[in-house]
Amino acid sequence: MGVKRRAFLIGGAAIVGGGLFAVYSADSSNRKRAVELTAKGKDGSFLSWVKISEDDTVTVYSPHIDFGQGSHTALAQMVAEELDADWTKVVVEHAPADPAFANSALGRGFMADMSGQPGVVAALPASFISMAARSMNLQITGGSSAVRFTGQSGMRVAGAAAREALVAEAAERLKVPVSELTTLDSRVIHEKTSASLRYGELAQAAAARSLNSDVKLKDRKDFRYIGQGVHRLDIPAKVDGSATYGIDFTLPDMRVATIMMAPVRGGKLTSVDTAPALAVKGVEKVIELEDAVLVIAKGYWQATKGMQALAPKFSDGGHGGLSTASIYAAQDKLNAAGEKLVAPEGGKLLTADYKAPFLHQAMMEPFAMTAHHKDGRLDMWGGLQDPLAARMMAAESAGVDAAKVMFHPMIMGGGFGRRFPPYSQIVDQLAKIAMQVPYPVKLIWSREQDVQHGAYRPQVAARLQAVTGKKRMAAWASDYAQNDDAAAEGTVPYAIPNFEARHHEYISNQVNAYWRSVNASQHGFFNESFVDELAVAEGEDPYTFRRNHLKAGSRQLLVLDTVATRAGWGKPLPEGRARGIAMVESFGSIVAEVVEASLKEDGTPKVHKAWAVVDCGTTVNPLNAAAQIEGGLIMGLSAAIGEQITLEKGAVVESNFNDYPILKLADSPEVDVHFIESGAKMGGIGEPGLPPAAPALANALFALTGKRVRQLPILAQAKV
C-alpha cells in the first residue's frame, strides 16, 4: 500500500518539478487560473483547494456540492487535520465552476473502482488522470465519492503540504531548524524560545514556496478532527432561514418563469394559443420550446396563473401505448428467455419474480435556477451536482462560448441523484429562454412538473432462481430487465459456488438516471428478499442462513453479527411484531439492517425500530455519518412502503405529494446506527444506508404474515 501511494504522489510531483498542486491540475496555467479566481489581496493560495488569509481564515474550496450530506464539513475536517488549523476559523466554499477545479482525485477514485485495480491506476501519471477528469468535466458529486476520494487523496494532502510550507517559511524567518518547530491551531510554534507565528502572516510567502508532494500524512492515532462529531458548518444558516438556495436567489428586475412540458416524454409541443396567458395580469411573455411552453411574469403566482390559462397541445412521440403494466410484461418476457437452472438430485430449485417501480427523487426544493444574459455573457445561479458540466451544457444550449458562461453554484434542497446536469432539463430550458429576454429570469418548476418529468430510478423486473440443499445455496442465476447493466449491484456478499446475473436491456421512453444508491436499491431488495426465501425453504433462520454463507473473520460477518446482537435477533417480541434482516454492500461500504415491524389496523406496515451497522472503513464525522445512514434508511422505507411512478398512455400518473407519498415523522422509526471502524478502504456514506431497508422490512412482513412481498411498493400491492 505504502509503495503505491508514493507512486501516486511522485507522479503528481514530477509534472511541475515538485509542486504538489500538479496532482490536481495538470499545468501551470491552470494553477494560475485557480489563484486568480480565489485569491484577493494578500491571500496565499495553496493548490486549487486551500486558501489561508491574512486574518488566519482557512477557506477550503470544495469541488463537490453539498446538498445536505455534510461532505463540506467532512472535507474541511480533513484539511484542518493535516494543516493543524484552528477549527473556529475554517470556512468552506463551493469551488467556482471552472476547469481549474476539475477533480482529478475523483477521476482517480472512479477509475480505480471501475477497473478494480487500484494499483494500476495509482501508477498512472497524475497528469493523465487530471486530463481525463477535466475532459470528462468531472466536478461531480455522486457515488458517495466526496469524502472517500477527494477527501482522502486530495484534501488531506493539500492540508499537509500547506502545513509543511508554512513551517519552512517560519523556520527561515525565526532562523531555527524546521525540526524544532511544531504546529497547533493555525500557529507555527518554536517551543524553546516561545516564539510563534500565525499562519496568516506566513501564508502569502509560504504559498510561493514549492510545495512538497511527498508529504507524510498523520497517523490515525494523532487525529484531532477526523473521527470527531464536529458540528456542521452549514447548519446555523439552515435554522434561521438565512441559507440561500437556488430558488431564493434574486436579482433586480428579475422575472419569474414557469414551464409545462410534454406530458409524454419524447412528445413535442404541437400548438398553443398564447393569448389567454398574455391577458393575465403580470404575464409578460410566452416562450415555446420544442417540447415545452414557458410563461414569464412578474412573479411565480402570475406565471402560474398564466400557465393555467393555456391549453397547449402536445404529441406523444409514438409512446402513447406505454404503461407500467406493458413495461413489466415486456421485461418478464425478456427474463423468461434466461437459461433455466436444474436442481440435482436431493436439491431444491426455487424461482421467484420480483418487481420494482420507477421512483422519483422528490428533492424537497423543486428545480429552480436563475440566468441573466447581458453583454454577450451568460450567468447562471443554481444547484447542480456537476457545476462544470452545467456550464458546458448551458453554453451549448445558449450558443455562447463556454468562456462567456459563468455558473454560480448554490446550495441545494436535496438532490438524491436528480441534479446531474445531463438529466437536468432545466439547464437547457433556462439557457434558451435567457437568450430571448433582456432581463434576468428565474425558472421555477412546479412540483407537478417535477414529479412528472423526473429522471427516475429505472423500473426493473427480475427472475431469480437458486438451487439449495443441506441449508446451503449451491447455485444462483438471476435475469433482470432494465435500461443499464447493474452487474456491480446484482451480486450478493455470500459464498455461492455458482453465481450468475444476466442483464437484458430494456429501454422505455423515460430517462433513467440515478436515484440515491443507484441500482443497489432494486437489486438489494430482490436479492436479499430471495435469500430470505431460500432460508425459509431450507428451514433455517434467515440470520443464521446468511452467516453460514460468510467467511469466518470477514468484515461482512462482523457487520451481520453486530446488527443481530444490537437488535436482539431471536429474542421474544410483543405479539404482532416481527423482525427482518438484510445486508447490502454498495459504494464500498457494508451495511446490515434489522427492522422491527407490525401491521396497523388498516393493514399497512408500521416500523417501530430499526438498526443499522455500517463498515465504511473510517468515519470522518460520526455524528454526520449517522445522519446519512438514518436518512438513507428512512428514504428506503419510504420508497418500499408507498412510492411509485406509474405510466398510463406513456405519461406519468402521479403528480404531487398527495399521490407520491413520502414517509412522515409518525411512521418513521428510531434508528440505532453503529459504525465498525475497520480502517479498511474508505467507503461511501450517503447512499449505502438505503438499500437494505426495503428487504429488511419485506422480510419482517413475511415473518409476520407468511406473505412474501415480491413487488414494490408494499401499499400498492396490498390494495390490489
Interface with other proteins in residues 97-136 (CB under 8 A): none
Residue 377: which of 399, 357, 406 has the closest Cα?
Answer: 406
Give the residue, chosen from 248, 353, 538, 540, that forms a contact with other proteins under the rule CB under 8 A.
248
Q: Contacts with other proteins in 197-226 (CB under 8 A)?
A: 224-225
Q: How far is CA 197 from the centre of its chain?
A: 41
Q: Contacts with ligand FES in 325-384 (CB under 6 A)?
A: 364
Which one of 67-75, 369-377, 541-549, 704-712 is the stretch in contact with other proteins (CB under 8 A)?
67-75
Size of the site for other proteins (CB under 8 A): 74
Name 52's Cβ contacts closer than 8 Å, sequence gap at least 6: 43, 44, 46, 58, 59, 162, 166, 199, 200, 203, 207
Name 114's Cβ contacts closer than 8 Å, sequence gap at least 6: none
Closer to ligand FES by Cβ: residue 245 or 526: 245
Give the residue, chosen from 180, 339, 340, 657, that forms a contact with other proteins under the rule CB under 8 A.
657
686 binds ligand FES (CB under 6 A): no
Give the residue, chosen from 18, 118, 229, 320, that forms a contact with other proteins under the rule CB under 8 A.
229
- Which of the listed partners (other proteins, ligand FES, none) does 444 bind, with a CB threshold of 5 to 8 Å by partner kind? other proteins
Grid coordinates belonging to 148: 472517500
Question: In Å, what is the CA distance from 639 to each residue of 107, 354, 594, 702?
Answer: 31, 15, 17, 18
Site string for ligand FES, 58-77 (x = CB under 6 A): ----------x---------
Shortest distance (Å) from residue 656 CB to ligand FES: 9
Give the residue, chosen from 196, 228, 548, 646, that forms a contact with other proteins under the rule CB under 8 A.
228
Closer to other proteins by Cβ: residue 53 or 619: 619
Residue 199: which of 181, 213, 175 has the closest Cα?
Answer: 181
Residue 91: which of 45, 131, 59 has the closest Cα?
Answer: 59
Shortest distance (Å) from residue 381 CB to other proteins: 13
Shortest distance (Å) from residue 686 CB to ligand FES: 13
Shortest distance (Å) from residue 258 CB to ligand FES: 15
416 binds other proteins (CB under 8 A): yes
Q: Select the residue whose beta carbon is closest to ligand FES and give its number.
A: 364
CA–CA separation, 272 vs 310, rounded Å?
A: 7
Closer to ligand FES by Cβ: residue 362 or 430: 362
- Which of the listed partners (other proteins, ligand FES, none) does 137 bind, with a CB threshold of 5 to 8 Å by partner kind? none
Amino acid at 405: V
User: What sign for the dihedral angle of Cα 176, 182, 187, 193?
Assistant: negative
Cα dihedral 591/594/599/603 (nearest 10)? 20
User: What sign for the dihedral angle of Cα 101, 64, 90, 621?
Assistant: negative
200 binds ligand FES (CB under 6 A): no
Shortest distance (Å) from residue 621 CB to other proteins: 9
Grid coordinates belonging to 110: 472512479
276 binds other proteins (CB under 8 A): no
Angle (CA) 377 380 381, round 5°: 150
Q: Which helix (H) or strand (E) holds 719?
A: helix 714-719
Q: Contacts with ligand FES in 411-470 (CB under 6 A)?
A: 414
679 binds other proteins (CB under 8 A): no
User: What sign for the dihedral angle of Cα 402, 408, 411, 413?
Assistant: negative
409 binds ligand FES (CB under 6 A): no
300 binds other proteins (CB under 8 A): yes
Which residues form the interface with ligand FES (CB under 6 A)? 68, 364, 414
